[in-house]
Structure 1
Amino acid sequence: MGAETGLPRPPAEIALTQLRLTDFRNYAAARLDLAPGLVVLTGPNGSGKTNLLEAVSLLSPGRGLRRARLASLCRVGGAGCWAVAAEIARNGETTRLGTGMRPGGPETSREVRIAGVDAQSSEALLEYCRILWLTPSMDGLFTGAPGERRRFLDRLTLAIDPGHGGRVRAFDRLLTSRNRLLDEDAAPRWLSAVETELSAAALAVSLARQETVALLAGLFASHGEGPFPVPGLALAGEFEAEIVAGRTATQAEEAYRHRLQADRGRDRAAKRTLNGPHRSDLDVTFAAKAMPAALSSTGEQKALLLAVILAEAELVARVAGMRPILLLDEVAAHLDADRRAALLVRLAELGCQSLLTGTDAALFAAASGTAQFFSVSEGEVASI
């Protein structure tokens, strides 16, 4: 009907309906049958709540929410392998997804299977689900190193643009090649060849990041103030300010190519390329106070970060045409009672399946009767 009337199609309803773990972290074996909507996992620290979220995060490209080495995911005392199997429902149609590492398998790549067939890469998972997460380790995102914020922005971009991961890898590979050629004092013609490709890759990465920032800023502008503060977002860096700003894509590529050529001596002395999107930063402010997020209170930083994740969930639904799965680890920490209640309301509005963890089920009492509750204890999971 949407196609006939010209109206946009509603986003697909995505839900993880079953999760099975084998020799994963502290789980010898586990199975969870999940319902759409809100899922709450409660239990003491160290019981394995975050491990469950980490397993779900591996149903997306990359190394999961902890960015752990594959071998470290194996259960101590296990068979030296691990597996995560899942069933994902899209508008009621179920697909089996799986990922893991075989005994003695490579530690640099994991196996991925979709409907029982080997996938060429983990990015094939993006066709079936998009997964966003917020963990306690991200609480220091605004005060930490720029590289963490770039990685965060790249994950946001990947959730709406599946090709972004390939662009970032291509850029990183070319950047490494140029640095090696500089170190080897290679002939100018070899450097020129790499720099031509690097210029195109750099611009593609930067423009994709800028588009994500612009789309999120547009959502914040349309919603206005609410229970969560409105973040001001900008992609900041010498590359964006001096190379990209005010130029067409073709002009920016050429400008960066000339800049790379002019900076060969400086970069050779520094043993690295000093200008490019690998040096850019995601600049975040508390818009209402015109204050850098890094100078805001701990509670304000948490609320700002949560505001970005919630806006990204809405953006994914609009752009990717599917509702993402949200993983919110210890999300109640640093949130007052009003914001905890507002979060549950907002999650219901978004219509995403959301997995939340906490040490105290009372923190989620407002969801009693609507959420699915599990108790987690020493690698055992039970429905409440």
Structure 2
Amino acid sequence: MKTKMDEYECPTTSKRVKLSSSHITVDDLSISDKSDLTTAFYKLCSTHRANNIMLIPYKVNSCNAAISSGGVAFSKAYCDLETLEKGFFLGDIFRKGLDIGIDFLNGKTPDAKHEKILLEKLVNFLKVGEKVDVDFENETDTTTVLANHLFAKLAISSYYTIDKSCQSKRNGNKCSCSDENCLLTGCFGDTSIGNTKVWHGSVDIIIENDIVIENLEDELDSPGGKSPVELKMKSKSLSKNPQLVAKAIVFSFLQKKRHPELSNFVIPCVGIADNAMLLMFYDSEHDVLLESSTVPLHSATCRNKFSVEAVLITWLAVNYRFLCTGLTDDMLSHQAGFFRQAKDCITVYENNLSMQNVGPPPVKEIVLPSEWSYNAYLLEKQNRLNEVSMKLTLN
């Protein structure tokens, strides 16, 4: 019997791609890589809070998710969040990922084929030691490189869609990295989600229609670059970011509608700004909103490599369907109160959200013919009208 992991259907071509896994062992990694990966996994389950990647539960005190005047674009989303008293840790909702990784570090590879394939993605990424540019002229270049060299390489499928509004800044399907022969494994397209009656708009990246990636770093027009104050503001913009919260909530409701067969609806949304990333989760079944600690995007020892923490968090997030085990019993009572905040439009969130073609249709430029047909009949009528006009003027 074939499983989802034996074949994968590309959403743009409807062709099923066969997947295969090779035999991997922990000895495929260098001692240094094994040590770094062990440390990264340790941060998912450490009892020392300073060394752990935490999960902060939030309550939504107020927001504009359901206003009487109509829907709100993500860019204008507003959320006033309150931190609840009890915190949690990231490893508790990724127990399957934690089990697979720690067993592997102890010399045991999983028996299930799909788990071997997922593990191979992580191991091969670390073995190659992916190196990328870190200084870009604009946000679009950063977004395309992250999509092509981080998220797509760790996901089960390398296909993704980047917001088509970025396309004008790119050269066809070439990646923004320094390798002139590097091509995008995804495409530019429609990434709009939501409903015009509620929160809606486009997201930066959607990996295989399964997870939203948001680059929250604003472009600076100043030729002088970023000041220390601006950099500090960017880092702070990740936590409690209203756009990220709105997109996480909308996408969780959307995934619940599109994939009711999922074992849980703790859907992650990845946020990136400057040299940091975090995960924002919303469970649209139990109304729980969680935000992870930030982790450095790039390595402290090699600036053009991704940090192992970022690689591990990305691997867990983009493969959440298989590695996320959902909320623990302790988390269920820490509700965000979004259902109450959006009560007037909650049925829209539950039943009427869409992916693509959300919002007013784009204004299309009218292309005029290059040649025009003019004949004697029209010329004669024009002359007669000129005569009438002259007579009116004389009178």
Higher relative contact order (CA 8 A, sep 6+): 1
Both proteins in one fold, TM over 0.5: no
TM-score (norm 1): 0.26
**TM-score, reference length from structure 2:** 0.26
